[in-house]
Structure 1
Amino acid sequence: MVRIISALILAVTAACASAAEPLQLVDNPPDRHIVVRGDTLWAISGKFLQQPWRWPEVWQLNKDEIKNPHLIYPGDIIVLDRSGDTPRLRIAKPVVSRDEKLQPKVHSQTIREALPSIPPNVIEPFLSRPLVIEPGEHDTLPRIIAAQEDRMLMGAGDTAFVTNIPDATVENWQIFRPGKPLVDPETKQVIGHEAYFLGNAKLIQPGAPAAIRLTVAKEEIGRGDRLLPAPPANIMAYAPHKPEQAIEAKIMSIYGGLREGGAGSVVSLNRGSDNGLEVGHVLALFRKRASISFDENVRRVETPVPEERYALAFVFRVFDRVAYALVLESSKSVIIGDAVRNP
């Protein structure tokens, strides 16, 4: 299926009068780019702009248009126009020669798909995971109380019985097990629990108890495991863009229980939708540095120096007080406690 495209026609130009910092082209940008299957918003932007997330400024798109950008298709040509004071992007369609004779052709219509913001194979495993549960929420969620034929453990294809699913308004569910607490590095308070994803299930019969069928089982599932409604997996079309308001956050954890991460790592942030974060936001990672020296008494002296910006991250899932981001570019290891702010 032709992967078509949307969004980004993108990125490529220079400054907008209202921008605080002029946009800059990369060194020796191409004059044009032919859109092909497999292109991503981030990759095409990076062919032209030093700051790929700033492409909406070129088109002067509003917030809603950023989420649902204009469609382009494979074969369309993105042209860098430098004839004016400010470089611009335009789309050129293939031109048919006047001498070319028109012949009968078979036409087919392709299904339109939004151009993914970043490589799908990187982000898809995390579209519905990880999960964050608010403090005290565990006891109110649906819970597996029994399995068919009194089994202790279950896998894909098995049927389970669940409490607290009163009707059939939600058909698709995620199964999880309570996991480690997420502690805000600034306040030291628990702002949620990162749940351990076990699998997916489909409601087959509402009631008390309700019956579900396990459709995916990453690990064995048993009595006491909880359920949450599965979120829609529609984030791929959201275009990278910087937050409109100032964001001040910290890295709380690196997904998978790692101590350090890098490009391709998923990190949790101690800010969420309550603080204005949304899917598609691009944020920069910063680390405080200190110059270490010794005085005349051979005492260690640390002199603070300006923070070092070393990475960019793309927010792909947002909860009330927690967000998850994929580190796209990083010049060094990502460490828990590092600062996260507007790029």
Structure 2
Amino acid sequence: MTSWPMLRPAPLVTALWAAAALLSAAPAMATDFPISQSQRETAQKVAQAGVPLSELAPDAPDSYTVKKGDTLWAISTLFLKSPWRWPELWGMNQDQIRNPHLIYPGQQLVLVKVDGRARLELAQSITGPNGTVKLSPRARAESLDDGGIPAIPMHLIEPFLNEAIVLDEDSLASAPRVAAAQEGRVLLSRGDLAYVRGTLPTQGDYRAFRTAKPLRDPLTKEVLGYEAAYVGSLEFLRPGTPADGKTLEVPATFQVKQIRQEVNAGDRLAPVPPRTFNRYVPHAPGKAIDGRVIAVYGEGLNAGQNQIVSINKGTQDGMEQGHVLALWRTGQEVRDTSSGTGRADAIRLPDEKNGKLFVFQTFRRVSYALILSAQQPVGPGDRLSQP
């Protein structure tokens, strides 16, 4: 008689808990990921409970094999109507949500439905007695950047994390500035030397910014912050010497390392901040949000999927990294000529949902968000709400 493989899905939560325990025992690899209060509350309420079957996508598959290039957001989109609810689908508890990204290409995910609820579990196969194949949890302790799938497409926002800067005041006006270049050059490219005047708080790498522009609230026109246009990065080579009454000032020497656009005299410098490796957990805001798109990052007037916009809500408004927001297209004003009386009344059509945003960088009164989806172009003034 043929012995058929026996399938028993192993709860993902068990694997995550074990991996978290291993990570906590390995200081070189352990990292604390930020957890918002809303995430804690959600995790406590739904730990190991899953989601109601009504929350599943109509064509949710019974199983899925993770592929290279997948994200937790994309996988959750296959299974859920509301992808930001993926912590509930995975049944994570408060400890496990600290490091939920232990999913790797080649692993099989199984959708288990019990008592009107559904959970996604991770299957790992091992060979038992008589060649029987069983599925059981397996813990793995890995470095942070080990090929585990991220929550969202990190390659779209990683270059932006050290480039975007919003200041409460135009403090760049007093920052160190590029005063001159070799041989009287006006524009500096990679490898060129730049001579910088001003107080340098540290040595090392600096970012160069062009004059900061105000970010205004689309409704009130109030200045919410100053966005500085990223130019490139420069490396400190040697200090300068101040004027002493007998000799002229000698500026500090820098070398241009990378450029987004050519460095000009007058560009301002700010130290490169310490690199942080963010693990984003998509989740809905815990309270009602009524916000607006301020601008498309860069020079564009409108944006689409995978582009970045600034919004008029920041940390003081409760914005967090990982918040998912709904995008609304403002209803158009039209003329109603349908009455048959010859009159043409002015009416405004209702706002319609246009897509979703993912907040990944927050400042006090402004945040930056990635457009996850958009049916129509996104522009300044478009409305934001809870998803």
Asked if 1:260 is matched to 2:295, the reply is no
- What are the within-5 Å matches in structure 2 for residues 4-23 of structure 1? none
Query: Counterpart of 2:336?
Result: 293
Query: Counterpart of 1:216?
Result: 258
Report the Cα distance in structure 2 between the residues aligned to 1:137 and 1:19, rounded to whole angstroms.
48
Report the Cα distance in structure 1 between the residues aligned to 2:130 and 2:212, rounded to whole angstroms.
69
Which deviates the most, 296-305 or 276-285?
Answer: 296-305
CA contact (8 A) 1:143 1:164 kept: no
Shift of 1:283: 0.7
Query: Counterpart of 1:280?
Result: 322
Query: Counterpart of 1:25?
Result: 56
- Residue 188 of structure 1: SS of its match in structure 2? coil
Report the Cα distance in structure 1 between the residues aligned to 2:64 and 2:117, rounded to whole angstroms.
19
Asked if 1:336 is matched to 2:380, the reply is yes
Query: Counterpart of 2:280?
Result: 238
CA contact (8 A) 1:235 1:316 kept: no
Asked if 1:119 is matched to 2:153, the reply is yes
- What are the within-5 Å matches in structure 2 for residues 124-203 of structure 1? 124-148=158-182, 150-162=184-196, 163-168=198-203, 171-203=204-236
CA contact (8 A) 2:170 2:226 kept: no
Map Cα deviations across residues 50-107 of structure 1 (whole Å, 9 max, x no partner): 1111112333554x86563252333332211113331112222122243459xxxxxx
Shift of 1:16: 5.0
Percent identity between the two aligned chains: 38
Which deviates the most, 178-187 or 265-274?
Answer: 178-187
CA, structure 1 residues 321+128, in 2 after alignment: closer, same or farther (shift >3 Å)?
A: same
Report the Cα distance in structure 2 between the residues aligned to 1:213 and 1:67, rounded to whole angstroms.
40
Shift of 1:120: 3.5
Map Cα deviations across residues 26-68 of structure 1 (whole Å, 9 max, x no partner): 1221112222332212111111111111112333554x86563
Number of aligned pairs?
A: 323
CA contact (8 A) 1:135 1:191 kept: no
Report the Cα distance in structure 1 between the residues aligned to 2:289 and 2:277, rounded to whole angstroms.
21
CA, structure 1 residues 326+31, in 2 after alignment: closer, same or farther (shift >3 Å)?
A: same
Query: Counterpart of 1:90?
Result: 121
Report the Cα distance in structure 2 between the residues aligned to 1:177 and 1:253, rounded to whole angstroms.
18
Higher share in helix: 2
- Residue 82 of structure 1: SS of its match in structure 2? strand
Shift of 1:149: 5.1
Map Cα deviations across residues 308-337 of structure 1 (whole Å, 9 max, x no partner): 111101112222211111111112221321
CA, structure 1 residues 334+23, in 2 after alignment: closer, same or farther (shift >3 Å)?
A: farther
Asked if 1:51 is matched to 2:45, the reply is no
Greater gyration radius: 2
Query: Counterpart of 1:10?
Result: none
Query: Counterpart of 1:105?
Result: none
Which residue identity lines up with residue 180 of structure 2 in the other structure?
A
Report the Cα distance in structure 2 between the residues aligned to 1:305 and 1:256, rounded to whole angstroms.
30
- Residue 87 of structure 1: SS of its match in structure 2? strand
Shift of 1:25: 0.9
CA contact (8 A) 1:116 1:236 kept: no
CA, structure 1 residues 192+247, in 2 after alignment: closer, same or farther (shift >3 Å)?
A: same
Report the Cα distance in structure 2 between the residues aligned to 1:66 and 1:292, rounded to whole angstroms.
52
Query: Counterpart of 2:3?
Result: none
Shift of 1:111: 4.6
Shift of 1:206: 5.2
When normalised by structure 2's length, the TM-score is 0.72
CA contact (8 A) 1:76 1:92 kept: yes
CA, structure 1 residues 98+213, in 2 after alignment: closer, same or farther (shift >3 Å)?
A: farther
CA contact (8 A) 1:23 1:51 kept: no
Report the Cα distance in structure 1 between the residues aligned to 2:106 and 2:329, rounded to whole angstroms.
42
Map Cα deviations across residues 199-240 of structure 1 (whole Å, 9 max, x no partner): 112333456654332210222212210122334554652121
- Ranges in structure 1 where 5+ consecutive residues have no aligned partner: 8-14, 102-108
CA, structure 1 residues 73+262, in 2 after alignment: closer, same or farther (shift >3 Å)?
A: closer
CA contact (8 A) 1:68 1:238 kept: no
Shift of 1:191: 2.2
CA, structure 1 residues 270+65, in 2 after alignment: closer, same or farther (shift >3 Å)?
A: farther
Which deviates the most, 193-202 or 114-123?
Answer: 114-123
Higher share in strand: 1
CA, structure 1 residues 69+16, in 2 after alignment: closer, same or farther (shift >3 Å)?
A: closer
Report the Cα distance in structure 1 between the residues aligned to 2:175 and 2:93, rounded to whole angstroms.
40
Indicate the RMSD between aligned Cα atoms, in angstroms.
3.4
